[in-house]
Amino acid sequence: MKLFRPASKEPLWKDEFSINRADEQYVSRRQFTKFLVLTSLGMFAGNVWILARSWFGKTPVYSEKNICRTTDVPVGGVWLFRYPTEKDACILIRPDEETYVAYSQKCTHLSCAVFYAREKNRLECPCHEGYFSITDGRVLQGPPPRPLPRVLLEKRGDQIVAVGMSTLKDS
């Protein structure tokens, strides 16, 4: 098999599916250059799109939602709820008397449900042993690539209300 050869007069599909076994893997220089140019263009367009999204993208608006009463959750206990939509499982934790924190329950690695490990005071994902901090949701160990999204809470009287979501990066 020759490494370089003159341009083929056959249509491209015949070259791609050549009867000759040696020609099957052959990529002409022109074809390779086309591939490089087109993939570079694709990468460029993708980057421009990401840039445009970050410039012009709107920050999402979250509705408020009553979660539970302060008395519903004992100290060291948890309360499961859904926020911002019915498909997003979240977990509210009361590590001590005055503190209430809530995070998305979906591990940022492969979306397993995280649980509250009371004795270690952290959120743990049982699938691949990814651990998250209870104070800000950052990854303590394991494969999760991002911190857990946090649910912003407000205490109105004895009612706990979810008012929005934030991740460690924006907060």
Partner 1 sequence: MFGYEFYVDPSRCIGCQSCVNACAECETHRGTPMIHVDFLDRTNSTETVPFVCMHCEDPTCAKVCPADAIKKTEDGVVQSSLKPRCIACSNCVLACPFGIPKMMTELEQMMKCDMCYDRTSEGKRPMCATVCPSQALAYVPSEQIERLRRGKPSNVFFFGKQKVTTKVFMMLPPEESALAMDVVDYMWEGHA
Tokens 């651990």 correspond to 131
**Which chain residues interact with partner 1 by CB under 8 A?**
1, 17, 19-22, 24
Q: Measured from the CB of residue 39, what is the shortest distance to partner 1 in angstroms?
A: 25
Q: Which helix (H) or strand (E) holds 78?
A: strand 77-82
Q: In the complex with partner 1, which residue's Cβ is closer, 14 or 120?
A: 14
Q: Measured from the CB of residue 17, what is the shortest distance to partner 1 in angstroms?
A: 5
Q: Measured from the CB of residue 38, what is the shortest distance to partner 1 in angstroms?
A: 24
Q: In the complex with partner 1, which residue's Cβ is closer, 24 or 158?
A: 24
How crowded is residue 23: how many other Cβ atoms within 10 Å of its Cβ? Answer: 17
Q: In the complex with partner 1, which residue's Cβ is closer, 22 or 61?
A: 22
| Nearest-angstrom CA–CA distance, 83 and 89 | 7
Q: In the complex with partner 1, which residue's Cβ is closer, 21 or 58?
A: 21
Closest CA to 146 of 136, 156, 158, 159: 136
Whether 108 and 148 have beta carbons less than 8 Å apart is answered as yes
Q: Measured from the CB of residue 24, what is the shortest distance to partner 1 in angstroms?
A: 7
| Nearest-angstrom CA–CA distance, 132 and 151 | 14
